[in-house]
């Protein structure tokens, strides 16, 4: 028996949120977004990425392999409500002098309050951003272009991906500028090119957190598996047959009975409850 076969006998796959439970039932549209948001490698922001496999030192002529090691970043929960353009907190060490002991240090991005405008949503919003965010918005000629061009792994925060989701839904459903048809057609023609990368189902699941996606999936399953009482089913079938036979008494009867809000049935058995007679 080969070594690979022996190793496969003792291999137990690790249970993840996608292999068991509700996560395994989630549609592929959401899994595609999750890979783009959490698994895809983001653009290098805090280091300069070198191309190729080897690099030569110009002074000494020595050849070294290229090592593009990603700097570990920290994302506090408050950053989920910011638009930072890929920046985050860096944890490291500093050393004042050559023979001094180094000490831990955190590098924080410089935050600033600003007002952003979305042409698709036709709304101004106050947000906390960085200087890099402003530069990226200018490079992409607008806030909407920046959100639609940038993948979720670079947007990173929940606020940014949810804004992108709202913009995609507005473009897909053409709900932008409901009172101005000319403006709606103009803006739609300007941004409709981004819809080619998504299907309607992918847009519906885009920008949701794992908890929100699970809640949405549970709600959809409840609607699909909604149990209807047999008495309503038999009643509707009977009335439908009577109407087919042109029976007059069944013409003005609804197939489904109207729901009556009579309150809880326990209130009928409560002798102290107030009714129209006792009020």
Q: What is the DSSP string of 103-150?
A: EEEEE----EEEEEEETTTTEEEEEEE-HHHHHHHHHTTSHHHHHHHS
Reply yes or no on whether the pLDDT at 268 is more than 60. no
Distance CA 121, CA 166 (A): 8
pLDDT at 143: 97
What whole-number distance in Å separates Cα of residue 161 and Cα of residue 150?
Answer: 10
- What pLDDT band is residue 228 in, cutting at 50, 70 and 90? confident
Q: Which residues pair with 103 in a beta bridge?
A: 94
β-strands 63-65, 112-118 pairing: unpaired
Where does the pLDDT of residue 266 fall: very low under 50, low under 70, confident under 90, or very high at 90 and above? Answer: low
Of 46-50, 198-202, 238-242, the poorest mean pLDDT is in 238-242
pLDDT score recorded for residue 263: 54
Q: How confident is the model over 24-48, as a mean pLDDT?
A: 94
Question: For residue 158, is pLDDT > 60?
Answer: yes
Mean pLDDT along residues 232-255: 76
pLDDT value for 24: 93
pTM for this structure? 0.78
165-171 mean pLDDT: 96
pLDDT at 277 over 70: no
Tens of pLDDT, residues 16-27: 889 888 999 999
Q: What is the dihedral of CA 162, 155, 214, 229, to 10 degrees?
A: 30
Hey, where are the domains in the chain? 70-224, 228-256
Band (pLDDT 50/70/90 cuts) for residue 68 is: confident
Maximum Cα interatomic distance, the chain, rounded to a whole number of Å: 103
Tell me what pLDDT residue 278 has. Answer: 52
Residue 276: pLDDT above 80? Answer: no
Q: Please state whether 85 falls in left (phi above 0), alpha (psi between -120 and 50) or beta.
A: left
Q: How far apart are CA 167 and CA 124, in angstroms?
A: 14
Distances (CA, A) of 183 to 45, 94, 191: 37, 54, 13
Nearest to 205 by CA among 17, 30, 15: 30
């Amino acid at each position: 028996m080969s070594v690979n076969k022996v190793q496969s006998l003792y291999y137990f796959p690790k249970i993840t949120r996608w292999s068991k439970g509700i996560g395994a039932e989630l549609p592929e549209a959401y899994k595609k977004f999750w890979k783009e948001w959490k698994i895809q490698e983001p653009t290098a922001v805090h280091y300069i990425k070198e191309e190729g496999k080897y690099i030569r030192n110009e002074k000494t002529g020595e050849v070294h392999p290229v090592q593009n090691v990603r700097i570990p970043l920290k994302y506090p929960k408050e950053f989920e409500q910011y638009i930072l353009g890929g920046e985050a907190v860096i944890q490291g060490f500093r050393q004042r002098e050559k023979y001094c002991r180094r000490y831990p240090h955190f590098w924080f991005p410089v935050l600033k309050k600003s007002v952003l405008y979305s042409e698709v949503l036709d709304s101004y919003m106050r947000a906390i951003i960085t200087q890099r965010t402003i530069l990226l918005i200018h490079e992409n000629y607008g806030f909407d272009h920046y959100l639609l061009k940038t993948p979720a792994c670079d947007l990173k925060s929940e606020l940014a991906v949810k804004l992108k989701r709202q913009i995609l839904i507005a473009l897909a459903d053409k709900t932008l500028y409901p009172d101005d048809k000319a403006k709606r057609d103009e803006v739609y023609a300007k941004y409709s090119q981004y819809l080619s990368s998504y299907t309607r189902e992918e847009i519906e699941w885009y920008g949701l957190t794992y908890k929100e996606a699970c809640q949405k999936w549970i709600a959809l399953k409840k609607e699909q598996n909604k149990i209807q009482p047999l008495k309503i089913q038999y009643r509707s079938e009977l009335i439908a047959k009577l109407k087919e036979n042109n029976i007059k008494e069944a013409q003005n009867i609804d197939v489904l009975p109207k729901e009556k809000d009579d309150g809880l049935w326990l209130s009928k058995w409560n002798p102290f409850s107030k009714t129209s007679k006792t009020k």
